[in-house]
Amino acid sequence: MHHEQSSYPRIEIGGRLTLESIEAVADGAPIVLSSAARKRVASAHAFVEERFRSGEPIYGVTTGFGRLANVPVEPDDTERLQLNLVRSHAAGTGPLLERRVVRAAGLLRVNALAAGHSGVHPRTLDLLVELLNRGVTPCVPSQGSVGASGDLAPLAHMTLTLVGEGEAWYRGERLSSSVALERAGLQPVRLGPKEGLALVNGTQVMTAVAALGVMRSQRLAASADVIGAMSLEAFLGSDRVFDRRINELRPHAGQARVAENLRAVLAGSEIVESHRECGRVQDPYSYRCIPVVHGAVRDAIEHTRSVVETEANSVTDNPLVFADDGVFLSGGNFHGEPVALVLDFLKLAIGELASISERRLYLLLNAEERDLPLFLTGRSGVQSGLMIVQYTAAALVNENKVLAWPASVDSIPTSAGQEDHVSMGMTAANVLPRVLDNVEGALACELLGALAATDFRRPLRSGGGTQAAYDVARREIAALGEDRSPAPDIERARSLIASGSLTNAAEKAVGIAL
């Protein structure tokens, strides 16, 4: 998005980024460097130039890279050294990353460089800022990073655009970077000492995927609470399991939050009250254990959020410049292990929302003992109703079981053994959006079941929150009569979940954030 068209407020870089601000920039918000950040960057750059002129051996500044760290490089070759680094490392392949991810990664790169420990020229940082503000988005292949010296290949592809090479998106067109820069009124930079290394070292790409994934996970968790409540209500499930006294005896934060959410959205339900004295003691686990399972997922999301926010505000290139102390320090901040582990954790955890959702749908479709017709059709036999919608949910859950396999348990040494343990965090990052898509799809299938089952409970009214969600959904998805293709209905249900419409309606009705 071009900054002149942005409806977002400008975000200042130089303090602490939140995941909300990362998502805002991914969606088009402009940024500006704080004056303090600009001073830090200028000071670090001056120190790099001073040491470079002294001829002191400095990794990646007056030497080669990786296994070539002990090979000296002549001062006259410094620009070629940095440019060759960027060109040679742009070895990615596979589908391009979404532009939102590349924008988020660009912001994280700006934020890391703005800390003043990387040594880039201020004009290089200014160009990175303007790429975001003018809507020039590098084309970045999604595969090629092993997540150890950070995301070398993806970041190198991003850096190519800065030097006028590679390709970039501008105003909906995929162009050569040189043309994209020219149309945006920008000039490419020439790389000075350490700049290529500073621009390709770091964990910003996997962290960008993680940041956007956490935000989406939070919305899916809220949607799961609403849809789970709708299903439980239509299933004639017991709301006693949401009693505060039960959940206070297992004081996990997520469990308490989910129990509170379901108490709120079901309050005032005539359907729940209609079977209060039915004598049924317990429901199957997929209903009875909603606070426990959904709550554990929420706690996993919160842990992931904490790690990702810390990483988003970290400096992860190498070597690091400490201008005030007059030293360069080589370390391993670029290793992606913290992010790799939580990416694996998140995709495993969020998949549980789909797993338990599919079980609730299965029970709704097979609840004749609870006065619901088989497959939720009034003409069973002639019609199949929602029979195959559960198959779809099962297929999505099965795919998540494959995708949940952790990438971070693997390590394949690189750089002739210099980089002998790697995180594989980008592999987990590339899989996460597919897992989130599958969770959204499974919840959409459950929503169709909850709506159809609720129709058989009328004229009794639902709870305040579940009724509001039902009303919003029924405006988009017609009641089930004659058999029809459920595929368009699944897509409409997905849209209600993805847009937040379903959750927003419930929140407005009950007056709390879910």
Cα separation, 332 vs 335, whole angstroms: 6
* Residue at token pair 């795919």: 399
Number of CB atoms found within 10 A of residue 332's CB: 12
In this prediction, residue 6 carries a pLDDT of 58
Are 312 and 207 in contact by the 8 Å Cβ rule? The answer is yes
Cα separation, 364 vs 368, whole angstroms: 9
Profile the chain (514 residues) by mean pLDDT over runs of 10 residues: 60 95 97 97 94 78 71 79 94 98 98 96 97 98 95 98 98 98 98 93 97 98 98 97 97 98 98 90 94 98 98 95 92 96 98 98 96 91 94 98 96 90 97 98 98 98 98 97 96 98 98 97
In this prediction, residue 103 carries a pLDDT of 98
In this prediction, residue 25 carries a pLDDT of 98
Residue 8 annotated as catalytic:
no
Burial of 175 (0-12, 13-18, 19+ CB in 10 A): middle
Note every long-range contact of 182-190, with CB atoms under 8 Å and residues 24 or more positions apart, other chains counting: 184/130, 184/131, 184/134, 184/135, 184/136, 185/134, 186/127, 186/130, 186/131, 186/134, 186/136, 187/127, 188/127, 188/162, 188/163, 188/164, 189/121, 189/123, 189/124, 189/127, 189/162, 189/163, 190/79, 190/163
Token pair recorded at residue 186 = 């920008």
In this prediction, residue 4 carries a pLDDT of 42
- On whether the pTM is more than 0.75, the answer is yes
Domains of the chain listed by start with CATH number: 3-202 (1.10.275.10), 220-510 (1.20.200.10)
Give exposure, 45-68, as e/b (b: 16+ Cβ within 10 Å).
bebbeebbeeeeebbbbbebbbee
Cα separation, 45 vs 433, whole angstroms: 37
Cα separation, 308 vs 304, whole angstroms: 6
Cα 463 to Cα 234, 382, 509: the distances in Å are: 11, 33, 10
Catalytic residue chosen out of the listed positions 8, 59, 170, 285: 59
8-state DSSP, 98: P
- The helix or strand, by DSSP H or E, that contains position 96, with its residue range, turns out to be strand 93-96
